[in-house]
């Protein structure tokens, strides 16, 4: 019970890695609070988790929505021990696509702005809202979802890579700023992970991902959840400002 009675917030907790992390934390005794924009699924997940798990509908890109969420959680639970900034989206596309010297397609401004709003600003919004509470209570843990592509880059993901690289930078800044208050800030960088989105891809694409991964398989959401669990626990009490790759040894682009 490594997180016994720890109030643990997980954004994007209705599916994928977020849901599995919420379930894993509950197994270890945490008082889980998830948020997502998918209300029906989120409510169902909280019910399935049990253990007094709570769900709130929150758009992490909307600062007012986040502030209201944190206010309500604090009023109900009295404290916040762990924040997992897991919520994220993709809107892939090439920077520019040329044919016969003519521009035929490019990543739109809306696609760029939306991914930045959720994946980067959302992490900022949630962390900024939670930090004063953790400071007043004498400590806490903040965990941010980055990605191996935020380290290595990836074709067709200018917007996504920019956000995930930005999350790494913010993690290192906050580790320095908040360490004096006994708040640890770390990031987890998953590799190819068998979430609902990934497993819907064609079999030949999945086979290629496995072949490029030295361990020869896709990651499972529980692999990532276990990394979050370790970093949230006292076993990682002297780890801050770190980026933990959970990727089966892959280097993107090789």
Residues carrying an active site annotation: 160
* Residue 231 contacts residue 175 (beta carbons within 8 Å): no
Give, in order, the Cα–Cα distances in Å from 252 to each of 110, 145, 211.
Answer: 26, 17, 12
**C-alpha closest to that of 62 among 37, 34, 89:** 37
Helix (H) or strand (E) holding 197: helix 196-199
Confirm if 6 and 32 have CB atoms less than 8 A apart: no
Burial class (CB in 10 A: 0-12, 13-18, 19+), 66: buried
Per-residue burial over 160-198, b if 16 or more Cβ lie within 10 Å, else e, is bbbbbbbbbebbbebbeebeeeebbbbbbbbbbbbbeee
């Amino acid at each position: 019970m490594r997180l016994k009675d720890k109030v643990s917030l997980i954004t994007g907790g209705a599916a994928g890695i977020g849901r599995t992390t919420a379930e894993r934390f509950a197994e270890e005794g945490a008082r889980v609070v998830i948020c997502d924009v998918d209300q029906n699924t989120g409510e169902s997940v909280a019910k399935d988790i049990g253990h007094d798990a709570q769900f709130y509908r929150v758009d992490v890109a909307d600062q007012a929505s986040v502030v209201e969420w944190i206010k309500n959680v604090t009023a109900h639970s009295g404290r916040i021990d762990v924040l997992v900034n897991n919520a994220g989206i993709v809107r892939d596309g090439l920077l520019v696509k040329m044919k016969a010297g003519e521009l035929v397609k490019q990543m739109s401004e809306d696609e760029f702005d939306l991914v930045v709003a959720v994946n980067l600003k959302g992490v900022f919004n949630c962390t900024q809202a939670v930090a004063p509470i953790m400071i007043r209570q004498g400590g806490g843990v903040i965990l941010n979802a980055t990605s191996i592509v935020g380290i290595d880059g990836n074709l067709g993901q200018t917007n996504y890579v920019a956000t995930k690289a930005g999350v790494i930078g913010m993690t290192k800044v906050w580790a320095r700023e908040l360490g004096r208050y006994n708040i640890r800030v770390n990031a987890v960088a998953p590799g190819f992970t068998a979430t609902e989105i990934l497993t819907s891809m064609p079999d030949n694409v999945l086979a290629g991902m496995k072949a490029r991964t030295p361990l020869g398989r896709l990651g499972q959401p529980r692999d990532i959840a276990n990394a979050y669990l370790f970093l949230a626990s006292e076993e990682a009490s002297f780890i801050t400002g770190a980026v933990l790759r959970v990727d089966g040894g892959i280097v993107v682009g090789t």
